[in-house]
Amino acid sequence: MNGYVKMMARKRIVKIAHLTSNALALINNYVSSQILH
């Protein structure tokens, strides 16, 4: 049971990390496009 809980928590953390990095990448793209124009 303990291993399962750890695995689920890790999956959730990885998913959040991916969403966060995607959001940051979008923001960076937006900011750099605003600076260039």
pLDDT value, residue 31: 92
Q: Sign of torsion, CA 30 32 33 37? A: positive
Q: Which residue is associated with the tokens 């991916």? A: 18
pLDDT value, residue 35: 81
**Could you write out the three-class secondary structure of 6-23?**
HHHHHHHHHHHHHHHHHH
How many whole angstroms separate alpha carbon 16 and alpha carbon 13? 5
pLDDT tens across 1-37, in order?
689 999 999 999 999 999 999 999 999 999 999 887 6
Q: Amino acid identity of 16?
A: I
Which tokens sit at 8?
Answer: 């689920």
How many whole angstroms separate alpha carbon 3 and alpha carbon 19? 24
pLDDT value, residue 37: 64
